Amino acid sequence: MHLLIAAGAPVIPNFGGASDKCAVNNGFFCWNWFTQHWGSTFGPAVVQHIVLTVIAVGIGFVIAFALALLAYRFSVLETPISGISSFLYTIPSLALFQILVPFTGLTRLTVEIALVSYTLLLLFRNIITGLREVPEDVRDAARGMGLTQRQILLRIDLPLAVPAIFAGLRVATVTTISLATVAAFVVDEGLGAPIFDAISRSGFKTEFVAAAALAILLAWVADFLLVALQRLVAPWAAKRRSSLVPRSVVRAIRGRRRPISAVREA
Amino acid sequence: MQTEDDTGPSDSPRQHARAAELEFRNVSKRYPGADKPALRDLSFKVPAGEICVLVGPSGCGKTTAMRMVNRMIDITEGDILLDGKSVLGRKPSELRREIGYVIQQIGLFPHLSIGDNIATVPRLLGWDRKRIDARVDELLELISLPEETKDRYPAEVSGGQRQRVGVARALAADPPLMLMDEPFGAIDPITRERLQNEFLRLQETLRKTIVFVTHDIDEAIKMGDRIAIMREGGVLVQYDTPERILAEPADEFVARFVGLDRGLKRLALSRLADLSLDDADSVRDGTPAPGQADPDRVVFVDAQSRPVGRLGRDREPEPIGPVGSPDTSLRDALSLIMSDGNRPLVVVDADGAVAGVARLEVIAGALAIHNGRDASTEMRS
C-alpha cells in the first residue's frame, strides 16, 4: 500500500537542502544527491551494514566451528546438527523476525539471531566437509608417524580443511550482506534502511539504487578480501590448483610459443 | 622425548646406523564379529639390519601384521618385540615416532613443504631447529633431490620424487625399524625399478631393519633378505631366504605362488661374478691359430683387451654382439646366450677387458650348485 502511494507522489528526503534537476525529477540515480547524503545517510549505513555482517558471520563461524568439531569427533551428531541448521535456514527471514520480536524486541539482537542462524548451515556443512575430505592416506601417514589425535586435528585436518572453510565463509558472508538489508524491518540500521525508506515512504529512486549498489559492492569487496586472506593462510592450495589444472594449458602455450620464437630467431 | 635427543642418532646415519631386531611371538588377530582370525599364531624373527618381505595374496593379513608392529592395529594375542622389548607397554604415539612408516599412497602432507614434511618426526621429538635443518638437507642429498625442492609443495614434484620424499620422511629421525607397505606399488614399472634399486643401495649404507609388504613375488625376491609367504586366513606358510623359497617351496601353495618360472627367478638372484668363467682365447692381431679347439671361445680384442669381434658360425670374424659384465644376472646371461644360438657369452670386467666366457652348461649347473650349497650350509630358521 505504502509503496503504491509513495510511487505516485515521490517525497525527496531532505528536500530543499541541495536539490537539483535530477532529484526534482526523481531520476534513476542522482550523483549529486548521493554525494550530499553520503556523510549523513550512506556512510553510516555502510558501517552499520559491515558491523551487522561481521557480528553475524563471526558468531555464526564460532558456533558452526564448534558444532563441526563436535560432529567430526562424534559422527552420530552430524545428522541432527545438519537437520536443525537446515531447518533454521528454511525459515523465511521476515517470519523469523516476527517470531523473535516478542522475545527480543525491535533490537539489533533480533537481527543478529536471524542472521547467525542463516550462516550456520553454510558454515557447518563446509567445515565438516573440509574435515572429512582430508585424504585417508594423509591421516594414516600422520598417525603412523606418531602424531596424537589432537596433533592430527590441529596440524593436519584443520589446515587441510582451510579451502573448504573459506568457501563456506565466502558464501555465508555474501549471503549475510544481502540478507542484512532486511534487518531494516526491525532496526533502522544498515543499507536496508535507505532501501526501506525509499520503498515505504519517499519513493525516491536514487535512495534505494545507491543502497543496493553499495550492498553489492560490499559483497564483492568482502569476497575479494576473503580470497586474498585464504591465499595468505593456505598458499599451498593455490599452488596445488595452479600446478594441477593449468599445467597442461601452460605446457600447451609454451609448446606453441617455442617454435614461433625459434622461427623468429632464425 | 628429551632422552631421544640425548641418545638419538648423531648427525650422520651412515656412520651410526641403528637397527633393531624384530620378533613376532605367537601373534594373532581376531576382529570382533569375524568368524575367522585375520592372523593366526604368527611367529618369526627379523635379524637387525635385514629386509623382511611379507608377501601373499590379498586377504592374507600381511598389511595387518605390519601395522601391528607400530600398533596401528591392536594385537589380540601374542606379542611383538623390538630388540627384545614388547611394543605393548609403549605409548603408541611415542612408539610410532621410533619406527619409520611408508605407505603406498605416500601420504605426504599437501599443505607442508617437502622440507617440513621431512621434518615432521624430528619436530615431534623436539629437536632444535639447527639440527632439523641439517638433517633435512642431509636427507635431501641422500635421496638425490635438489636442495631447492625443500620449499616446494608435494603437488609440485613428480610421483617418483614424492615417493623418495616419503622414504626420507620415514628416515628423518633415524629409526631402527622401518615399515613399508607396498611403497613402490602405485608407480610406473620403470620408475619402480629405479626406486627399488635406489632403495637397495640406500639400505646397503643404512642397514635398517625393514618390514616390507608387497603382493608381488618378484619384488619380494628382489628386495628381501628374507621372505615371509602368507596365505589367506593369516597363516605364515614359509619364512626363508629368497634362494631357499625358490629352490624348496614348502608346499604346493608356495610353489604356485612363486610361479613355474622359479628356476629362472633363482637365476636372477645370482650374477656372473658368482660364476667360474671359462677362459676366452683372446686374439689381438690377425687370425686365430688354425685348428682352434673351440671357435666359440675365440674373441678378437683391441690393445686394451676389449672385445671387438668373434668368430661367426661360418668361422669368419664378425663384430662383437652384446657382452656380459660381472653385474649381469644369470637370468639375463641365459637370455643373451639363448638368443645368440647358445654360443657362450663373452664377459668383460669392470674396465671392459675380456674376463672370460660363460657357457650355457655352467649357468644351468649353477642351479644345481645352489641347491647343494643351500641344503648343506644353511639351516632353516
Q: Residues B108, B197: one domain?
A: yes
Q: Do A141 and B121 touch (CB under 8 A)?
A: no
pLDDT band at A31 (very low <50, low <70, confident <90, very high): confident
Average pLDDT, chain B: 87
Q: Residues B77, B172: one domain?
A: yes
Q: Residues B169, B250: one domain?
A: yes
pTM across the whole model: 0.78
The length of chain B is 381
Rounded to 10 deg, the angle between the A158-179 and A108-132 helix axes is 150
pLDDT at B55: 96
Chain mean position to CA A209: 20
Q: Which residues constitute the domain of residue B101?
A: 2-263
Cα B61 to Cα B235: distance, rounded to the nearest angstrom: 8
Cβ contacts of A160 on chain B, cutoff 8 Å: 109-111
CB pairs < 8 Å spanning A and B? 78
Share of chain B above pLDDT 90, in %: 60
Q: Is residue B223 part of a domain?
A: yes
pLDDT at A224: 96
Asked whether residue B293 carries a pLDDT value surpassing 70, the answer given is no
Mean pLDDT throughout A185-205? 86
Mean pLDDT throughout B317-345? 89
Q: Which of A135, A143, A244 lies nearest to residue B72, judging by beta carbons? A: A143
The residue in chain A having the minimum alpha-carbon distance to the alpha carbon of residue B94 is A146
Q: What is the CATH number of the domain that holds B135?
A: 3.40.50.300
- For the domain A31-233, what is the CATH code? 1.10.3720.10
Assess contact for A6 and A199: CB atoms under 8 A: yes
> By 3-state DSSP, what share of chain A in percent is helix, strand and coil, each rounded to 5?
85, 0, 15
Q: What is the pLDDT of residues B129-188, one digit of tens each?
A: 999 999 999 999 999 899 899 999 999 999 889 999 999 999 999 999 999 999 998 888
Q: Distance between the two ends of chain A, CA-based, in angstroms?
A: 78
Q: Residues B225, B352: one domain?
A: no
Q: Which of residues B119 and B364 earns the better pLDDT score?
A: B119
Domain with CATH 1.10.3720.10 in chain A: 31-233
Q: Residues B199, B119: one domain?
A: yes
pLDDT at B28: 95
pLDDT at B376: 38
pLDDT at A6: 42
**Interface residue ranges in chain B relative to chain A, Cβ cutoff 8 Å:** 70, 72, 92-98, 101, 103-112, 120-121, 124, 153, 155-156, 166, 169-170, 179
Q: Residues B334, B234: one domain?
A: no
Cα A218 to Cα A53: distance, rounded to the nearest angstrom: 10
Q: What is the pLDDT of residues A146-169, one digit of tens each?
A: 999 999 999 999 999 999 999 999
Q: Is residue B314 part of a domain?
A: yes
Three-state SS for B228? strand
pLDDT at B313: 75
**Distance from the B233 Cα atom to the nearest Cα atom in chain A, whole angstroms:** 24
Q: Residues B299, B210: one domain?
A: no
Q: What ipTM was reported for this prediction?
A: 0.79
**Distance from the A147 Cα atom to the nearest Cα atom in chain B, whole angstroms:** 6
A22 at the B interface (CB within 8 A)? no
Query: Which residue bears the cell 674376463?
Result: B355
Asked whether residue A259 carries a pLDDT value surpassing 50, the answer given is no
Task: Name the DSSP letter for residue A133.
Answer: T
Q: Residues B167, B305: one domain?
A: no
Q: Residues B31, B88: one domain?
A: yes
Asked whether residue B10 carries a pLDDT value surpassing 80, the answer given is no
Q: Which of residues B322 and A168 earns the better pLDDT score?
A: A168
A133 at the B interface (CB within 8 A)? no
A156 at the B interface (CB within 8 A)? yes
Q: Is residue B378 part of a domain?
A: no
Indicate the range of A121-125, A238-242, B203-207, B255-259 predicted with least confidence.
A238-242
Asked whether residue A258 carries a pLDDT value surpassing 70, the answer given is no
The residue in chain B having the minimum alpha-carbon distance to the alpha carbon of residue A159 is B111
Q: Do A151 and B94 touch (CB under 8 A)?
A: no
Q: Do B179 and A140 touch (CB under 8 A)?
A: no
Indicate the range of A13-17, B211-215, B219-223 predicted with least confidence.
A13-17
Average pLDDT, chain A: 83
Three-state SS for B317? strand
A145, A162, A233: best to mutate for the B interface, most B CBs within 10 A: A145
**Distance from the B364 Cα atom to the nearest Cα atom in chain A, whole angstroms:** 46
Q: Residues B279, B200: one domain?
A: no
Q: Do A137 and B106 touch (CB under 8 A)?
A: yes
Mean pLDDT throughout A68-73? 95
Q: What is the CATH number of the domain that holds B339?
A: 3.10.580.10
What's the total number of domains in chain B? Answer: 2
pLDDT at B29: 95
Indicate the range of A34-38, A42-46, B131-135, B204-208 predicted with least confidence.
A34-38
Q: What is the pLDDT of residues B66-99, one digit of tens each?
A: 999 999 999 999 999 999 999 999 999 999 999 9
pLDDT at A249: 44
Q: Residues B346, B236: one domain?
A: no
Asked whether residue B379 carries a pLDDT value surpassing 50, the answer given is no
